[in-house]
Every structure is written in C-alpha cells, then in structure tokens.
Amino acid sequence: MMAHRYLVTGTEGQVVGALLEKAAGRDDIEIVLIGLPELDLSDTTKIAPAIEALKPDVILSVAAYTAVDAAETDEALALAINGTALGEIGRAAARLGVPVVHLSTDYVFDGEKPAPYVETDPTGPVGAYGRTKLAGELALAAATPDHAILRTAWVYSPFGKNFVKTMLRLAETRDRVGVVADQIGNPTSALDIAEAMLVVAGNLLAAPDPTLRGLFHMTGTGEAAWADFAAEIFRVSAACGGPSAEVERIPTSAYPTPARRPTNSRLDCGKLERVHGVRLPAWTESTEVVVRRLVGGQPA
Ligand SMILES: NC(=O)C1=CN([C@@H]2O[C@H](COP(=O)(O)OP(=O)(O)OC[C@H]3O[C@@H](n4cnc5c(N)ncnc54)[C@H](OP(=O)(O)O)[C@@H]3O)[C@@H](O)[C@H]2O)C=CC1
Ligand SMILES: Cc1cn([C@H]2C[C@H](O)[C@@H](COP(=O)(O)OP(=O)(O)O[C@H]3O[C@@H](C)C(=O)[C@@H](O)[C@H]3O)O2)c(=O)[nH]c1=O
Ligand SMILES: [Mg+2]
C-alpha cells in the first residue's frame, strides 16, 4: 500500500513534536511539515499555493499563535494566523479534494456554564486568543465541509513550552508556587492528541460519511483546577527524584494576567467517542508519562 501523505502545519511545538513521534513507526503515513521559516502563516496569500504544490492526502492543521497573553496586544497577527489562514487552508483542501483535521481550543467558551461544554453550546470567547481561534473554526467550516475540528485544552508534553515545564522550572528555585484554584478544565497530553488525530484522519480518509465530520471536543479524561494539575506534577516529580514544591491554592484575582481566561472550560468529549471511537486517557496517567520523561529518574 502507498503511504498517505499527511501535511502538518507547523514545524515545531508540542503537537508537531508528538505527531512526528507517533508517526515515526508507521509506514502507511508520510508526514510533511510546512511552516516557519519557509512559510509564515500570517503571509496568507502564500498558504494555498504552498499546500497545493505538496499534493497531500490529508491536512493536519496544528500551527497557531498560542501566546494567550501576548494576543491581547497582538490580535491582528493572531487573527491572521489563527483565523484568516484557516480559510486559505480550507479552500486549498477543497480544491485538492482532501480532508482537514484542525485543532481548536476550550478558550472559545466564556466559562460561565456550570457543567462541561458540548459542541452545540454557544461560544463566547473572553480573550483575543479565543476570538481568533473561533474565527479560524468558522473560516474553515465555511471553506470546506470535509473537516473535523477538534477542540482540545490545557496541552502539555515533553516538547515546546507548556505548564508542566513551567511548574518544574519554578520548583527548581522555589519551595512554594501560587497557582489558581478557581479555573477548571481538562489537562491534555499532546502525545494523546497526536494519536487521536491520526485515528480521526484515518477515519476521514476511509469514508466520506458526513457524520464523521464537523465539530468535536477532545481532551484528556477527568477534570482539574490548575492548582490540582500543579500538585500532581510535583507529586510525580518528587517520586522520580525531580524538583517539587508546595502548591499554594490562590484565586485568579491573586494572579493578574493581561488576558482573561474562562472559569470553567471543561469539555464533554462524548461525541468523539460515539462517532470516532476515540477516548483519551485519564489526565493523571498521561501527566505521569510526561513528567517522568521530563524528570528522567525512576519512581522511588
Ligand atoms: N497549547 C495549548 O494549551 C492548546 C493548544 N491548542 C491548539 O492546538 C494546536 C497546537 O498547539 P501547540 O502544539 O501547543 O502549539 P505550540 O505553540 O507548541 O506550537 C505552535 C506551532 O505553530 C507555529 N507557528 C506560530 N506562528 C506561525 C506562523 N506565523 N507561521 C507558521 N507557523 C507558525 C509555531 O512555530 P514556532 O515555534 O516557530 O513559532 C509552532 O510550530 C494549536 O492550534 C493550538 O491553538 C488548543 C488548546 C490548548
Ligand atoms: C505560571 C503560573 C500560571 N498560573 C496560572 C495562569 C493561568 O490561569 C493558568 C495556566 O497558565 P498558562 O500560561 O499555562 O495558561 P494559558 O497559556 O492560558 O493556557 C492556555 O493556552 C492556550 C494556548 C489554550 O488553548 C488553552 O487551552 C490553555 O492551555 O495558571 C498560576 O496561577 N501560577 C503560575 O505560577
Ligand atoms: Mg501559556
């Protein structure tokens, strides 16, 4: 069998790193990365020609402007990369006749719902990053029906920048770390995201069925406040002989940031499981995997 060519937007970062690792052993998948420095997604007129020249069988849309606080003062650039570029990617995909699997975020919601969000819930981003990611969802959906938009959240991994690495770094020099305890969500390993994206992409390649397409929530199983996530990171790290600190549970008001973040951004992932047969592992299990890789040592 000929390998399918998977075009991935982004050349570095968490999910790109995880996709390269997960596809490495698969002779049915050829990964082609496009992004910086050759292609800048804010240079929107160059995107479609670059994609069409590579003749992919499927597009995995991963690259994004992910600096949540910086986006508040840089919204035009974030909108070009997270919003406008998705219309270009979608139109290129439609001309090629290939599906797009795109990653979006829990930050499209306002966080006021007292329960996990489902796909049909109204959006209402409270910050610039969420607004631009929502614009990207809409632009992609308007450009091609042949897509799966996967909203994930709170991504961590051995690659790139993330909350786990930040906590381990802070614990190197501090005994106590203040972490917000009043924002709840679903920590999600990029390794689990990569595996799931490959399953969803395979399903789209295998059948034109419209029920496989559309919007899906896709996070690690189980919920946490950022303070709970930090405490688990330190528990596992300490058990491996790595850096650890005491977590001081603080309110959001005690950790001021340029961007507002949703109070509750838990996502109900039942639809993905019913339609694609994909359920991500418990966040605690995947946190253990990632912290052990980062810290190195064996558990005590
Ligand atoms: N991180 C998270 O917590 C969450 C992420 N997501 C979504 O998941 C996806 C992957 O996130 P993650 O892996 O964490 O992201 P990273 O920030 O780790 O990586 C983003 C990638 O996008 C690339 N990129 C940024 N700007 C441009 C540009 N102008 N042109 C080309 N490439 C660019 C980056 O390149 P470079 O490194 O060179 O800048 C990098 O390769 C994104 O779509 C994100 O919105 C959804 C929910 C949570
Ligand atoms: C570093 C630090 C953060 N915090 C808080 C700030 C924030 O509310 C929370 C998480 O911090 P971060 O900067 O990692 O959060 P943030 O960059 O907002 O993470 C988000 O990134 C984008 C890309 C997404 O799509 C979201 O799903 C989400 O993962 O923890 C503390 O309370 N104490 C600390 O020492
Ligand atoms: Mg951040």
**pLDDT (0 to 100) of residue 122:** 98
Cis peptide upstream of residue 37 (ω within 30 degrees of 0): yes
Atom of ligand 1 nearest to the CA of 77: 29
26 in a structural domain: yes
* Ligand 1 center–CA 1 separation, angstroms: 32
| Among 6, 129, 156, 255, the one annotated catalytic | 129
Q: Taking Cα atoms as reference points, which of 124, 118, 41 lies closest to residue 83? A: 41
Strand partners, 246: 176
Q: Taking Cα atoms as reference points, which of 231, 226, 254, 229 lies closest to residue 176? A: 231
* Ligand 2 center–CA 180 separation, angstroms: 9
pLDDT tens string 171-205: 999 999 999 999 999 999 999 999 999 999 999 99
Q: Which of 20, 36, 40, 66 should be mutated for ligand 1, with most atoms under 8 A from CB?
A: 66
From the CA of 78, the nearest ligand is 1
The pTM of this model reads 0.97
275 in a structural domain: yes
Range of the domain at 118: 4-162+188-221+267-281
The verdict on whether 129 is a catalytic residue reads yes
Atom of ligand 1 nearest to the CA of 193: 8
245 in a structural domain: no
294 in a structural domain: no
**CATH value at residue 113:** 3.40.50.720
Q: How many domains are there within the chain?
A: 1
pLDDT tens string 97-147: 999 999 999 999 999 999 999 999 999 999 999 999 999 999 999 999 999
Name residues of the chain where pLDDT drops below 70: 1, 297-300
Atom of ligand 1 nearest to the CA of 154: 3
**pLDDT (0 to 100) of residue 152:** 98
From the CA of 164, the nearest ligand is 2
Atom of ligand 2 nearest to the CA of 155: 29
43 in a structural domain: yes
- The closest residue, in CA terms, to atom 14 on ligand 2 is 163
Ligand 1 contacts (CB < 6 A) are 10-16, 35-36, 40-42, 62-66, 81, 103, 105, 133, 152-155, 160, 190
In the chain, count of helices (H) and strands (E)? 10, 12
Write the DSSP assignment of 186-223 as a string of letters.
--EEHHHHHHHHHHHHHHHHH---GGGSEEEE---BS-
* Ligand 1 center–CA 16 separation, angstroms: 8
Q: Is 177 helix (H, G, I), strand (E, B) or coil?
A: strand
- The closest residue, in CA terms, to atom 11 on ligand 2 is 163
235 in a structural domain: no
Strand partners, 189: 156
Please name the residues in contact with 28: beta carbons below 8 A apart, sequence gap of 6 or more: 1, 3, 4
**pLDDT (0 to 100) of residue 298:** 58
Q: Taking Cα atoms as reference points, which of 183, 175, 227, 148 lies closest to residue 68? A: 183
52 in a structural domain: yes
| CA angle, 123 then 185 then 238, to 5° | 160
